[in-house]
Chains A and B, each alone.
Chain A
Amino acid sequence: MTTAWLPIVWFCIIGLEVVLYMLLDGTNLGVGLLSLLPQSDKRRLVLMHVFGPMWDANETWLLIAAATTYGAFPIVFSVALNALYIPAMTLGAGLILRVASYEFYAHTQRTKHLWATLFGIGSLLATIGLGLLLGGLLSGIRMTRGHFSGGPFDWATLVTFLITTGIVTGFVVLGYAHMVRQSKIVSKKGFERILLYSILTFALLASATAVVPNTNYLFLSRWSDPRYMPILWSVVGLIAASTALLVYAIHKRDTALVPWLCNTIFIIGFFGIVVGTFPYILPPNITIFDAASSPTTQTFMLWGIGPILPIVLVYNYYISRLFRDDDSYEI
């Protein structure tokens, strides 16, 4: 294997990590967002229970993605976080608040309401932070001589706003789908809510793709570039088809199909973003080849981390199976 392929290999690995994180923790964040809605204490207890034993393993994918990005593409990690200071801090603060509140909720008696609220707020902050990060990245980052040279609010664009609200509603859908699967609490009202939120998500993210070209010219040219056009338009077609199928599944109350479809839509959407920007990783300046750390480092990391990832995946799956469909864990 020549070293020229290394950046592509790492890009794929990190892409996989990000998708895993968005799906796994997106579900947990969605459960957190749902807890903000007014509801009975009993129902809230079910929500917190479903958040359950896997939050830590799920959240770890974000750290893995961040750390491997730092290792494989140091400039992306440093410049993106530097430029997106406020989004990154929002995400960080949200995640701490969420986890600490969750643990405190489990252990307190009289202050449960307070911690449940903080848990919801933490989840909301973290979700918003993620949306701002992704939106900020796609909006483009101003750089001079390898360093960030923009202002603190460069990420505040229309695209970012649309993506962020789209991710919030999208995570609500993921969370709801997960609740449906785990707790078997299926109400008519709940299904209507899923439907509403998934249509909202589709509308928001679709309009975001239509606006992106204004701030990131790369995307604009690709919609009409014959090399990318077929893929991009099939992505749009696939998402539209899956959403239509989702509407049908919700209508038919198919609890098994709904979560699968939600996840599929997320994955296709992410693939669309990659097609729209590859090989740029810090659009519109830096490609994955510019950003790559030295071949020695990328090789060393590949041998050190590469074989571990499948193992982590397998036992993560095993453990999540162990706790699936279960409402009797002993604490």
Chain B
Amino acid sequence: MDVLQWSRLQFGDTAAFHILWPIMSIGLVLYMFVMEIMWLLTKQEHYYRQLRFWTKPFVLTFAIGTASGLPLAFQFGTNWSQFAQTAGDFLGNILGFETTIAFALESAFLAILVFGWKKVHPLVHLFSTAMVLLGASISAFWIMAANSWMQTPLGVTFSDGKLVVTDYAKAICNPDTLVSFAHMWFACVESTLFMMVGISAIKLLGSSPTETKGFFLSTFKFCIGILVVVAPLQLVVGDLSGQVVGRYQPEKLAAIELQWQTNASGTGAPLRLVAIPSDAQQRNSFEVAIPGALSFITTHDPVGTVQGLASFPANDRPSTAQAAVTFYLFRLMVLLGVLMAALMLWGCIYWYRGKLSVAHISRHPWFLWAWIVSIPFGLIATESGWMVREIGRQPWIVYHIIRTADGVSTGLYSAEVATTTLAITLMYVVFSITFVYLVAKMIARGPDLTSPLP
């Protein structure tokens, strides 16, 4: 493997690992924020207990998130020096905003959120929690603005071999930014809450004391209460996101759908459920498809035109292998998203029928097991979505402006990148295992329900 391939592997590897932690941080701190408001408004003890218990895993996710994000920021310079330089006029500025405004906000207020219970006024504490949530969300916004600009770059012009920003409003609010930010933010919340419900289901299935079960049943219900809003919204935003891709990155859409030939006018493009692409023949050697459905989904017209992959020059669009990967990962993401929405609906029905009580719920092991199985669904869906987004943009690093191969650093050796990749991966694996072990222990020990209230 050459430096380019190793660098891509390293970035993909570190990004895929890093993204797990901000997802959980945003989801957890949103939950904590809601609990803290409810606690201050009602002074009911169980809100306070929820808040304190879920702060513990939050601290861990936040720390690993901060630490694992650093190599990612460095890699722009170390491994993607030419890209960093050419796109620096815009990207540098955006990353500057991200760290200064957002990150500085969350890092400092985190100290009060975690350690400041006896030190500050309750409202100052609430404000700190709000700042951590706001900081984490703004952080996500700037990262999405930067990445969206790489998908649909606007507001820049080439001058002296470098991209120079001519219109900041256009560059930041490019067509992809808002919808992608919303999609990602909802993904953070939905993924985390699903994990929390699943974890609660484990405790409800086991043999814990009634008070502990009561605590986790509260988590179960609060999360479903928030998910009722988020899960359906996520499907809508996801659809919007797909339309942005269709409109601004037609070759990515063609790759995701393995649509080789543009559909003839008056006929609809079929939505393929399963397909095996053939690189030699530039078509699918096997497919199962719903006639006309792709045209309808992307253009909201049963005979709308969807451009085919073969109508783009071969070296300007994703390779057949890349197209196949995006095709299946995209389907995985959608499938998981729909399953999660359905599960949420099942939860609502049970709640409505009064089955969500400590006495009743253990009589429905299938229901609880469904939630337990779905613990990783949100994370898998988010990771899949990101891979579709990034692999589908190839061979470009900045769509139609800079090729990935032209972005890589100069003067590096494969051995350097390979060594660091392996070292960092090894660390990440050890951290993940330790994290899961520690959180499992926290859950097993259960919440502290007796300490004095503040």
Contacts and interface: CB of A to CB of B under 8 A. Distances in A.
Interface of A: 53-54, 56-57, 59-60, 62-64, 66-72, 74-75, 77-83, 85-86, 88-89, 91-93, 95-100, 102-104, 107-108, 146-152, 293-294, 296-297, 300-301, 304-305, 308-309, 312, 315-316, 319, 322-323, 329-331
B74 A70 contact: no
Nearest to B164: A294
Contact of A294 (B82, B89, B98): B89
Nearest to B116: A322
Contacts of B413: 152
A100 B84 contact: no
14 contacts: A56-B107, A68-B96, A70-B88, A70-B95, A71-B93, A71-B94, A74-B85, A77-B76, A86-B416, A103-B64, A297-B92, A300-B165, A304-B97, A315-B108
Interface string B406-430: 0001111100100010011001000
Contacts of B9: none
Most buried by B among A60, A79, A80, A92: A92
Interface stretch (B117-125, B265-273, B276-284, B342-350): B117-125
Contact of B100 (A82, A149, A308, A331): A308
A70 B84 contact: yes
Given A64-B99, A88-B74, A78 B82 contact: yes
Given A78-B85, A322-B120, A92 B71 contact: yes
Contact of B411 (A60, A82, A297, A300): A82
Contacts of B90: 297
A7 to B, nearest CB: 14
B58 to A, nearest CB: 11
Given A53-B115, A64-B99, A147-B410, A79 B68 contact: no
A102 B434 CA distance: 12
Nearest to B117: A330
Contacts of A81: 74, 76-78, 81
A85 B416 contact: yes
Interface in B52-99: 59-60, 62-64, 66-71, 73-74, 76-78, 81-82, 84-85, 88-99
Contacts of A88: 74, 77-78
B111 interface: yes
B410 A82 contact: yes
Interface of B: 59-60, 62-64, 66-71, 73-74, 76-78, 81-82, 84-85, 88-101, 103-105, 107-112, 114-120, 161-162, 164-166, 168, 409-413, 416, 420, 423-424, 427, 431, 434, 438, 441-442
Given A74-B88, A95-B70, A152-B413, A82 B78 contact: yes
A95 B67 contact: yes
A75 B86 CA distance: 9
Closest 8 CB pairs of A and B: A74-B88, A81-B77, A71-B96, A82-B81, A70-B92, A71-B92, A78-B84, A99-B67
A14 to B, nearest CB: 10
B114 A331 contact: yes
Contacts of A107: 60, 438, 441-442
Contact of A79 (B85, B110, B111, B431): B85
Contacts of B68: 96
B365 to A, nearest CB: 31
Contacts of B412: 82, 85, 152
Contacts of A305: 96-97, 100-101
Contacts of A312: 100, 104-105, 108
B184 to A, nearest CB: 20
Contacts of A108: 434, 438
A104 B435 CA distance: 8
B438 A152 contact: no
Given A71-B92, A96-B70, A146-B85, 5 more contacts: A82-B77, A82-B410, A107-B60, A300-B168, A305-B101
B100 A68 contact: yes
